[in-house]
Every structure is written in structure tokens, then in C-alpha cells.
Amino acid sequence: MQITGLSKVFFCNSGAEANDGAMKLAKLHTKKNSFISTNNAFHGRTIGSLGATANIKYRDPFVPLVKPATFVEYGDASAIEKAITADTAGVILEPIQGEGGVHISNKEYLKEVREICDKNDLILIFDEVQTGFGRTGKWFCKDHYHVQPDILTMAKAIGGGLPMGAIAARDGLSFEKGEHGTTFGGSPLVCAASLAVIETIEEDKLLENSTAMGQYFLEKLGQMKRDDVVGIRGMGLMIGIELNHECGYFMDAAAEKGVLLNVTAGNVIRLLPPLTIQKEEVDRVVEVIESIQKP
Ligand SMILES: *Cc1c(COP(=O)(O)O)cnc(C)c1O
């Protein structure tokens, strides 16, 4: 809770479940039903969180969903303002879009969205399921922007590999007894694991390592001799390398050489290395990426 800067936490089991819970909380609080999300957003695969996930690949087989969000261009705060209706409960956003291709929001965007939400009494939800827990060099990506959401969702790294999610909310936003719940949420096992994760990040100075190795990564990737790179972007150890062609084959090709990477949005190599990564390993990863050619 301390690291989130918010005042209450509900523990659950996954990121999708955290986002479902966050949207339930926003609905309860505002008595409204719709959400604004962004193009390319990924918020999970439950019926509720799918409604805020942009990619039709994930949604189409399951329509009609309960109530899909209205999707607007990521990075354009005025688009959010224009999309507000009398039924809008809140806005859900990733401070950096992960699945969507590692899109980093510009400095003003999150601040402007915060102001728009304040002005219109909307609940602002930051989905930090991927960007949280040191990934970008701070506990949460929002800390780079000094913008506080009303609700923050997290999962993925927080249990150190065990299934755990959490919803943190500001003062004045909470469920009454019985309004929300889950059998396994906040079990002693996953909470002990999560505390160990927090301790390890602090003791081993992994936020600092995330920042330093992230910078080193960007430097090294920038020196690659490849003529198909359109852009390299990153914050801490969340890095995207956009190529001018589809590059799904990179996953298998790199795995064969001992490097696990992912490809999102079709043409973006996404790197989410362990926060413990060291220079020699960065060098190796860059070497492997540099060497992969079209099959
Ligand atoms: C992975 C992810 C989710 C979904 O989390 P699950 O634990 O797989 O349900 C939601 N939002 C973002 C930004 C994610 O990266």
C-alpha cells in the first residue's frame, strides 16, 4: 500500500480480475456504466476486462460483451474529453501500452487525462499490471509522471511468479462488505511471496538496476546494425523495438539461441527482462536480436 500511494487494497488472483474489480468499483461509486479505453489497449480476457481491451482478435469470438468501452486514440487527451457521455463512469489506461506495442504516453497526456477526469467526476483507473513493480525503474510507471489515479490495478510481477493481483484505491472509494470478493484472494502464501518480492526489490536495488540496465539496453540497441528498425522505445526494462515488417518469427529464432522475447502488435519486439539482468546478458540479447534474419 505504501508503494502505491493509495489508501486501500483488495487482493485478487490476476490482472484481468483486478481490472474487472476496478471497473465494478468505479460503477458503484459513480452509478454509471460506461468506460473510455484506448486503441490498442489490453486489459485482460475476462468478459468484463475484454470489454476494455481494444484488439478484436481477443474480443470478436465473444461478442456481444457485457458493455464494451468506447475506444479513443491513445495519447490524445481531447479524444477522451469528446467521448464522455452522461453514462461514463471512468477512464481506463495503461501508462505504457504493453500488448499494444510498448507505446509510451507523453508527459502531458496522463496529467491532462487526470484533469479531464477531475472536471467531469470520472474515475481514473491506471492498469499497471505490466508496468508496475519496478518494470519501468520506479515502483509504478505513474511515479514518472507524478499523476495519481483513483484506482490502480496490478498483477503479473507482484507475486513473484505466483498468481496474484491487486486493486488499490484512494480514500473514499471502497467496496462495502459483500460487494466484492474472491475465494483465494490475499492468501497467506501469495502475500508472503509478494512481501518477499518487495523486500528483494529494495534490498537488491532493483529499481536502480531497472533504470541503469534500461538505459544501457537502449544505448546498445541503438548501435545495432539492422536496416529494418523503425523505432526503439523504452522506460526502464520495458522495451519495444519496432520493425518495418511482421516479426513473429523472432520469438522462436531467439528462443533457439537462448533468449526469450515476445512480439506484440505484429511488428514490435517486446523485451521484459528480469529486473536482475546485468550488462553481459544485455549484450547477449542485443547480439541475438542483431543476428536474426528473415527466414
Ligand atoms: C497481462 C495484462 C493484463 C491481464 O493480466 P492477467 O493476469 O493475465 O489476467 C491486464 N492488463 C495488462 C496491461 C497486462 O499486461
Domains and CATH numbers, the chain: 8-202 (3.40.640.10), 206-291 (3.90.1150.10)
Q: Given this model, what pLDDT does residue 5 score?
A: 86
Q: Measured from the CA of 131, which atom of ligand 1 is nearest?
A: 13
CA of 15 to the centre of ligand 1 (A): 4
Q: Is the CB of 129 under 6 A from ligand 1?
A: yes
CA of 204 to the centre of ligand 1 (A): 26
- The number of CA neighbours under 13 Å toward the Cβ of 87 is 7
Q: Given this model, what pLDDT does residue 3 score?
A: 86
Cα–Cα distance for residue pair 270/135, rounded to 1 Å? 13
On the 0-12 / 13-18 / 19+ scale of CB atoms within 10 A, 92 is buried
Cα–Cα distance for residue pair 103/99, rounded to 1 Å? 9
Q: Measured from the CA of 163, which atom of ligand 1 is nearest?
A: 7
The C-alpha cell at 97 is 501500452
Cα–Cα distance for residue pair 152/95, rounded to 1 Å? 11
Q: Is the CB of 110 under 6 A from ligand 1?
A: no
Q: Which of 102, 130, 182, 268 to mutate to test the pocket of ligand 1 (most atoms within 8 A of CB)?
A: 130
Q: Given this model, what pLDDT does residue 18 score?
A: 97
Pairing relationship of beta strands 268-271 and 262-264 according to DSSP bridges:
antiparallel
Q: What is the pLDDT along the chain (295 residues), one digit of tens a residue?
A: 678 889 899 999 999 999 999 999 999 999 999 999 999 999 999 999 999 999 888 988 988 887 789 999 999 999 999 999 999 999 999 999 998 899 999 889 999 999 999 999 999 999 999 999 999 999 999 999 999 999 999 999 999 999 999 999 999 999 998 899 999 999 999 999 999 999 999 999 999 999 999 999 999 999 999 999 999 999 999 999 999 999 999 999 999 999 999 999 899 999 999 999 999 999 999 999 999 998 7
Q: Measured from the CA of 99, which atom of ligand 1 is nearest?
A: 15
Q: Give the other-Cβ count within 10 Å of 230's Cβ.
A: 11
Q: Given this model, what pLDDT does residue 65 score?
A: 80
3-state secondary structure the chain: CCCCCCCEEEEECCHHHHHHHHHHHHHHHHCCCEEEEECCCCCCCCHHHHCCCCCHHHHHHHCCCCCCCEEECCCCHHHHHHHCCCCEEEEEECCEECCCCCEECCHHHHHHHHHHHHHHCCEEEEECCCCCCCCCCCCCCHHHHCCCCCEEEECHHHHCCCCCEEEEECCCCCCCCCCCCCCCCCCHHHHHHHHHHHHHHHHCCHHHHHHHHHHHHHHHHHCCCCCCEEEEEEECCEEEEEECCCCCHHHHHHHHCCCCCEEECCCEEEECCCCCCCHHHHHHHHHHHHHCCCC
CB–CB of 118/109 below 8 Å? no
Q: Given this model, what pLDDT does residue 1 score?
A: 64
**Residue of 274, 268, 269, 275 whose CA lies nearest to 288:** 269
Cα–Cα distance for residue pair 96/122, rounded to 1 Å? 21
Cα–Cα distance for residue pair 283/264, rounded to 1 Å? 22
CA of 18 to the centre of ligand 1 (A): 9
Q: Is the CB of 100 under 6 A from ligand 1?
A: no
Q: Which of 125, 126, 129 to mutate to test the pocket of ligand 1 (most atoms within 8 A of CB)?
A: 129
Q: Measured from the CA of 16, which atom of ligand 1 is nearest?
A: 9
Q: Is the CB of 153 under 6 A from ligand 1?
A: no
Cα–Cα distance for residue pair 194/169, rounded to 1 Å? 18
Q: Is the CB of 15 under 6 A from ligand 1?
A: yes
The C-alpha cell at 188 is 497467506
CA of 294 to the centre of ligand 1 (A): 30
CA of 17 to the centre of ligand 1 (A): 9
Q: Which of 35, 37, 43 to mutate to test the pocket of ligand 1 (most atoms within 8 A of CB)?
A: 43
